[in-house]
Amino acid sequence: MESIVDADHGFAFGEIVYSRGGVYGPLTNRYVSMIFVYEGVAKVTCDDEVTTLVGGQAAFFKNDRHFMIEMERDIRHQVGWCEGVPGKLWETEMSPPAGNCPVIVFSERLNALQRVGVDLGFESNSGLNTVRNAVGQAVYAAFFHEAQLSERDRFVPKQVKRVKQYIEDNIDKEIKVGQLAGVANLTPQHLISSFRKHLGLTPMRYLWQMRANRGRALLLQSGLSISEIAYQCGYKNPFHFSRHIRQSFAMTPTEVRANKGYRPPSDVLESPRDTAF
């Protein structure tokens, strides 16, 4: 991420509330900016392009000569940002295009990273600046990852999306491929082929992945017993649940809960030989 934002200048985070609208800019220097709109509507002018963001959306911008954000009058707006100076990537043939990336609905993960950056404040010292830059790199990496997923999702057929949602809503129930094929109104073979093509795994693999993820989340966030979690996540018995959690996360359910989800490093898990020359 150093190639996108100049590490020597670092990242700057901020957030502001415009109770009755407002304008930020225009800026005439070159910037890369991640804009988050939490509430209201923001019209962003980046060079010759205009993008409108509404509450819950974020977008990435790179301007060469002009950048401005306008908020409509008599409406409350809350806007956040993570900005920096363009890095070396902009000078290469592989540089991202000028202007804006696709608008995305930002996730809780991306929002949490942005909040960490904002909470670091504006104080400057070597240690704090290192942390701030690391958080900024994480924000940009997370945004581009989510933008890529959002772009990919645009091309996923409706039948595959319907099956994906059905799986997520019914992981506690017994589900079979034929049943999912009926949801999609496709043959089982066609569903499996399309699901793998667009999501990278079969419907049943996706089902078990969701069950393991839900089980891990309940281990960390609830006081339910392992047996209760197993049945809530669609496992036939606690033994099956425990075996699958261990296969998925290299820890038993008890270890997941005791370690707060932290996976021990390889030197603890495998006791490898450590040789120094």
Does any domain span residue 3? no
Q: Are residues 64 and 170 located together in one domain of the fold?
A: no
Residues 197 and 188: their CA atoms lie apart, in Å, by 14
pLDDT tens string 8-35: 778 899 999 999 889 998 888 888 899 9
- 165 Cα distance to chain centroid: 18
Question: Domain holding 81: CATH number?
Answer: 2.60.120.810
CATH of the domain at 187: 1.10.10.60
Q: State the Cα–Cα distance between residues 77 and 55, nearest whole angstrom.
A: 9
Q: 59 and 95, same structural domain? A: yes
Alpha-carbon distance 1 to 233, whole Å?
38
Residue 107's domain comprises: 12-120+128-153
- Please check whether residues 176 and 48 belong to one and the same domain: no
Establish if 268 belongs to a structural domain: no
Question: Of residues 52 and 272, which shows the higher confidence score?
Answer: 52
The rounded distance, in Å, linking the Cα atoms of 203 and 152 is 17
Provide CB contacts within 8 A for 238, sequence distance 6+: 226, 227, 230
| Cα of 65 vs its chain's centroid, Å | 30
Provide the domain count of the chain.
2
* 224 shares a domain with 136: no
Is the pLDDT at 80 greater than 90, yes or no?
Answer: yes
Asked whether the predicted pLDDT for residue 150 surpasses 60, the reply is yes
Average pLDDT over residues 240-258: 90
Q: What 3 state SS string does the chain have?
A: CCCCECCCCCCEEEEEEEECEEEEEEECCCEEEEEEEEECEEEEEECCEEEEEECCEEEEEEECCCEEEEECCCCCEEEEEEEECECHHHHCCCCCCCEECCCEECCHHHHHHHHHHHHCCCCCCHHHHHHHHHHHHHHHHHHHHHHHHHHHHHCCCHHHHHHHHHHHHCCCCCCCHHHHHHHHCCCHHHHHHHHHHHHCCCHHHHHHHHHHHHHHHHHHHCCCCHHHHHHHCCCCCHHHHHHHHHHHHCCCHHHHHHCCCCCCCHHHHHCCCCCCC
Percent of the chain with pLDDT over 70: 85
Pair 167, 148 in one domain: no
Contacts of 148 (CB under 8 A, 6+ apart): none
| Bridge partner list, 22 | 71
Q: Are residues 201 and 98 in the same domain?
A: no
**b/e 65-91 (16+ beta carbons within 10 angstroms → b):** eebbbbbeeeeebbbbbbbbbbbebbe
Residue 189 placed within a domain? yes
Q: Does residue 274 lie within any of the structural domains?
A: no
Do residues 217 and 148 both lie within one domain? no
Give the pLDDT band of residue 147 (cuts 50, 70, 90): confident
Judgement on whether residues 144 and 24 belong to the same structural domain of the protein: yes
Write down the pTM of the prediction: 0.58
Whether the predicted pLDDT of 7 surpasses 90 = no
105 and 20 housed in the same domain: yes
Q: Is residue 17 part of a domain?
A: yes
Q: Are residues 179 and 197 in the same domain?
A: yes
Q: Is residue 141 part of a domain?
A: yes
In a domain, 249, yes or no: yes
69 and 51 in a common domain: yes
Q: Is residue 69 part of a domain?
A: yes
142 and 34 together in one domain: yes
Quick: pLDDT tens for 84-105. 888 766 555 444 544 446 788 8
